[in-house]
Amino acid sequence: MSEKIVSTVEKVDPLEFLAEKANTVIRLRKRTENLIKLIEERYKEDQNLSKLVENILNTVTPPEPPPEKDILYTGYNIASYETKLNSYLKTLTKYTMALEELSQNLNELKEKLQHLQEWNAIIQNIDPYFLLEGSKLLNRANKILDELSLEDPVNSSNEIKMLSSSIDRHLRLVKKIFVKRINELLGEIGELDTLLSKVCLFAKIEERPELDKMRERIGSIRKLLENAKMNPRDCPINFSSIKKEIMQMKEQVKNFLKSKISEKEERVLATISRTSHVLDKRKIGFSYLVELISKENGIPISETLDLLYKLEKKKVIKLYISLQ
């Protein structure tokens, strides 16, 4: 005996079905129109994105509704339209989010480009290589901005993010190089100041005005370098010019020393000045100091001791021995 299978299909009221689908379509169409209006208004003044928006809206168009006569007979066409409209809304939403991200990335890029231009001006007298690299990044950025894709905001956004990361890495390296060069010049100034202090101990009265003027200039350069280190963009400096001036003053001090002490004494004094600057008032073993001077200048230990004695006797240096 076979069983009889009865299938029950719930009857759908055509009017309710049409009303439901029509209301859904109306809501979707309203949301779509509002979103299109929002995109057009938001980016119409943006030189970089206005054409992209126009291209997107011309390319990604809403589906055509079914003919009115068909709507009167069936709601299934409306259901199909609803599906397509939903799909279009999702696509448009995706582009809206992509445009928002692209706009944010563009604003960040423009801010970084301003910093890049400022640091190009700072680094030009320090390292031509990094100036060249910075200029390449600027050219690359200008090309991206001029040739912004009108079809794929997601790809454009990713490209801009990659460029921004490259600029960040470049700026970090440039700032590191800048501080290194500043510290090198401050070290040179410190050594020169120490050497000048030694010279002043046995300078004649008529020689002091020139030495005092040099010391004053050393102080000015040190202050300039320290300010530049703290605020590089507000305190532009010419590294080459400052380096040249420091070298000239060093040469003046050396020439002055040559008239007061022997060539070997001058070499020993130069080593002591550098060591003193590095130690910064920290103690050093006497035997270690003697061996350091001897090795660096190729002078025997016994002669090194004799030279130290003469320099101390002339009051060019001060040696204090701590016996324990």
Would residue 288 count as lying in a domain? Answer: yes
pLDDT digit string, tens, across residues 73-83: 566 666 777 88
Would residue 102 count as lying in a domain? Answer: no
Work out the burial of residue 321: count CB atoms within 10 Å of its CB; fewer than 13 is exposed, 13-18 middle, 19 or more buried. Answer: exposed
Interval 281-288 mean pLDDT:
82
pTM of the predicted model, to two decimals? 0.67
Interval 33-47 mean pLDDT:
86
Would residue 218 count as lying in a domain? Answer: no
The pLDDT, as a whole number, for residue 258 is 74
Would residue 318 count as lying in a domain? Answer: yes
How big, in percent rounded to 5, are the helix, strand and coil portions of the chain? 75, 0, 25
Would residue 311 count as lying in a domain? Answer: yes
The pLDDT, as a whole number, for residue 165 is 92
CATH code for position 305: 1.10.10
Interval 156-176 mean pLDDT:
91
The pLDDT, as a whole number, for residue 7 is 45
The pLDDT, as a whole number, for residue 6 is 43
- Structural domain containing residue 274: 261-324
Helix axes 14-43, 76-123, angle to 10 degrees: 20
Q: Chain centroid to CA 255: how far?
A: 43
**How many distinct structural domains can be found in the chain?**
1
Would residue 302 count as lying in a domain? Answer: yes
Would residue 307 count as lying in a domain? Answer: yes
Interval 279-290 mean pLDDT:
81
Would residue 195 count as lying in a domain? Answer: no
pLDDT digit string, tens, across residues 240-269: 889 899 999 988 887 887 777 788 887 888
